[in-house]
A and B are shown apart, each in its own frame.
Chain A
């Protein structure tokens, strides 16, 4: 999850097209697999804080920053994690495209030192692409803990590029890295890999079809290899109009024939090789990797280690630490024990901390005591005496005023709840719990057409569904992305809404159980239906499990802060906008009209007509509506049954404006509209059913 950086304006930015710090400066690009410490290296180099996560597949955007190394300035670019130059997912494609398009001064390939054998293959690909390269062996401390020793000098000699060992989270090796960036010169001669007589002729043939590569980031040979593997980006790049190869193509053949020729060659080569070409290329590269790794890496066996008399205290502690992590891991991933652990996390983290403490105690104090008794009366008196116009008074300090409603709700209600949720989320995220949850729930998620990977956006959705909708980008298939977007919009309450509902219903355990049961049922039912009805293949599940780590306090604080920062930049303007719209609506009578219209479904599900404005607010923000519910509950206007019905309907109701906008951005306007068109009636229908059932059964809550 990439969030806004905390930094001076115009010094860095994230994903914004108009913001280009360090534009025109020599570029340093960080590439590498997910979860190897690229972001923390980016922080160390650029001096900015960015969010660092302990789970793979969450960085969805490119970050840019500026840095001064020695007395030269550079633009630093952090990319979403990619495993190889041939992308599998959309985020990888983002990184790949960047390498195609940008002219880099130096590329830093960041690898996890423990996993050199697995990651060096990508280094070879980058060298094959003739990118100016420095290899950064990060997490050297964790490698040492596991008894892995790497001969850095030998590795550098073997690859003919600079190699630097770092521990980016502690800032170790950063000076050395800066020094090698300053001294860096692009060595053109590199070790070439021979892919064998069956395919080499085809590689050369495709290369000869290509024009010059002067204007592109990557070499002709690399491009030819990607074309042979049918890579979409490479195909687009070579055979789309307006690109660098246009002139050459016009001179010789039309783009169509070039494209077909290329595909034909790929087909023939694949048949000759007998196995898919990407497999063949990887195997050949791995041969060389294994050769290199044998030379430079030594692993001390754990058993041997324990037998040694000379073992130091430090080593003993390290072994203990690893053993403890293994034991915890085996509990977290246990098919039976894992479930109670999940419930414990939910109970303490979500219910007690976010629901009871933050949304109950803290909000009560802030809203009623701080704002209700002290700040608001003061501001209202002051404003009323200053501005004698009732209409303007209404806009700022009236019942739905910008100050009395928007600002009060934001600071007294949303801030503590969202903050508490993001704090909990950051802790479990940093500990590495989320992928384990994916492992645990994959089987169940398959029933609703999702894989265990979708657990990450779903859990994040309990914090902010808008953020989560953005993160669905990391899911592999279009079908999975669509199903998770629907479920996020429909059944996952965001933290502000959840906190308020938990706090309202906490005095009413039966009501809470009914509410949770109905939401869970609807979630499962709609997911099951979507999985049955939507065309496409069932998802497959493959996820890397990062090691369990003790979360670092500083990292958690920074993460929680920057997530809240992102949230508030998005929320407060919308709250203010809602206040202004309601004010205009009340002046023109449109608000009364809309309220009137909303009263029908409201009364239909057994609620008092006054509750209509909860749902009208829900159009602007779901949590805004929840806040209205809180107000009605406070005033004692609702019975137990009505409260549960209102909570159910509101949870299933339309997502907030921001999430709607994000859905349009990620899934397209039509899909977003269709999802909303489905949600509106289904929320009221569910409310109606719950109300009818409770009445028929004579339940009083």
Chain B
């Protein structure tokens, strides 16, 4: 945690969070995916939600609504917690 915090303070313009706590309407990139749940991971990578892709969160409620590259997706909180973004 401390390391993470110091990292953020060094780079105030770039921080890594889960998609669920990303600020809406900001452009970012997908940093990595949580790999502990193989089912969700498989779904995400099959749909092309991959590290390095540009991402913008459009809405957090009623579901997480976001754009990756040119495509829009809706996911629930559980899945949004598996996507890490940096912006």
For window 13-33 of chain B, which residues contact chain A by CB distance below 8 Å?
33
Known: A333-B65, A439-B62, A442-B62. A283 touches B50 (CB 8 A): yes
A275:B35 contact, CB within 8 angstroms? yes
Complex: A438 Cα to B74 Cα, angstroms: 9
Question: Shortest Cβ distance from A138 into chain B, in angstroms?
Answer: 14
B74:A276 contact, CB within 8 angstroms? no
For window 100-127 of chain A, which residues contact chain B by CB distance below 8 Å?
114-115, 117-119, 121
Known: A330-B58, A542-B79. 6 other contacts (CB 8 A): A88-B46, A118-B47, A338-B62, A440-B62, A543-B75, A544-B71
For window 429-456 of chain A, which residues contact chain B by CB distance below 8 Å?
435, 438-443, 446, 451-452
Complex: A451 Cα to B33 Cα, angstroms: 22
Complex: A283 Cα to B32 Cα, angstroms: 10
Complex: A146 Cα to B78 Cα, angstroms: 32
A540:B38 contact, CB within 8 angstroms? no
- A83 CB-CB contact with B under 8 Å: yes
A118:B68 contact, CB within 8 angstroms? yes
- A541 CB-CB contact with B under 8 Å: yes
Known: A279-B33, A279-B41, A286-B52. A545 touches B65 (CB 8 A): yes
Query: What are the nearest 8 A-B pairs in CB distance?
Result: A118-B48, A439-B74, A545-B72, A83-B46, A541-B76, A114-B70, A282-B45, A335-B62
Known: A118-B48, A276-B35. A542 touches B73 (CB 8 A): yes
A544:B73 contact, CB within 8 angstroms? yes
Residues of A within 8 Å of B33, CB to CB, are 279
A118:B42 contact, CB within 8 angstroms? no
18 of the cross-chain contacts (CB-CB < 8 Å) are: A83-B47, A84-B45, A86-B42, A115-B69, A115-B71, A119-B48, A121-B48, A146-B70, A279-B35, A279-B41, A283-B51, A440-B63, A441-B62, A443-B63, A446-B76, A542-B75, A544-B71, A544-B73
- A156 CB-CB contact with B under 8 Å: no
B45:A278 contact, CB within 8 angstroms? yes
Residues of A within 8 Å of B61, CB to CB, are 335
Complex: A446 Cα to B63 Cα, angstroms: 12
Residues of B within 8 Å of A83, CB to CB, are 46-48
Known: A540-B78, A542-B47. A88 touches B42 (CB 8 A): yes
Known: A119-B48, A541-B74. A439 touches B63 (CB 8 A): yes
The answer, among A86, A290, A338, for a CB contact under 8 Å with B52, is: A290
The answer, among B48, B51, B58, B79, for a CB contact under 8 Å with A541, is: B79
Residues of B within 8 Å of A333, CB to CB, are 58-59, 62, 65, 74
Q: Mark A558-602, 1 if CB is under 8 A from B, else 0.
A: 000000000000000000000000000000000000000000000
Nearest B-chain residue to A117, judged by Cβ: B69
B41:A541 contact, CB within 8 angstroms? no
Residues of B within 8 Å of A290, CB to CB, are 52
Residues of B within 8 Å of A114, CB to CB, are 70-71
For window 323-342 of chain A, which residues contact chain B by CB distance below 8 Å?
330, 333-335, 338
Nearest B-chain residue to A299, judged by Cβ: B70
B74:A435 contact, CB within 8 angstroms? yes
Q: List the interface of chain A (C-beta within 8 A of B).
A: 83-84, 86, 88, 114-115, 117-119, 121, 146, 148, 275-276, 278-279, 282-283, 286, 290, 330, 333-335, 338, 435, 438-443, 446, 451-452, 540-545, 547
Complex: A547 Cα to B70 Cα, angstroms: 10
Residues of A within 8 Å of B71, CB to CB, are 114-115, 118, 544-545
Question: Shortest Cβ distance from A300 into chain B, in angstroms?
Answer: 13
Question: Shortest Cβ distance from B34 into chain A, in angstroms?
Answer: 10
The answer, among B38, B46, B65, for a CB contact under 8 Å with A84, is: B46
Complex: A442 Cα to B64 Cα, angstroms: 10
Residues of B within 8 Å of A275, CB to CB, are 35
Nearest B-chain residue to A436, judged by Cβ: B74
Residues of B within 8 Å of A541, CB to CB, are 63, 74-76, 78-79
A443:B62 contact, CB within 8 angstroms? yes
A540:B79 contact, CB within 8 angstroms? yes
Complex: A439 Cα to B80 Cα, angstroms: 14
The answer, among A117, A441, A443, A542, for a CB contact under 8 Å with B44, is: A542
Question: Shortest Cβ distance from A53 into chain B, in angstroms?
Answer: 17
B74:A452 contact, CB within 8 angstroms? yes
- B7 CB-CB contact with A under 8 Å: no
Complex: A485 Cα to B72 Cα, angstroms: 29
Question: Shortest Cβ distance from B62 into chain A, in angstroms?
Answer: 5
Residues of B within 8 Å of A441, CB to CB, are 62
B74:A278 contact, CB within 8 angstroms? no
Complex: A446 Cα to B75 Cα, angstroms: 12
Residues of B within 8 Å of A88, CB to CB, are 42-43, 46
A115:B62 contact, CB within 8 angstroms? no
Residues of A within 8 Å of B38, CB to CB, are 276, 278
Residues of B within 8 Å of A115, CB to CB, are 48, 69-71
Residues of B within 8 Å of A446, CB to CB, are 76
Residues of B within 8 Å of A545, CB to CB, are 65, 71-74
Complex: A286 Cα to B69 Cα, angstroms: 14
Complex: A84 Cα to B68 Cα, angstroms: 18
Question: Shortest Cβ distance from B84 into chain A, in angstroms?
Answer: 13
Known: A86-B46, A276-B38. A543 touches B73 (CB 8 A): yes
Complex: A279 Cα to B47 Cα, angstroms: 12
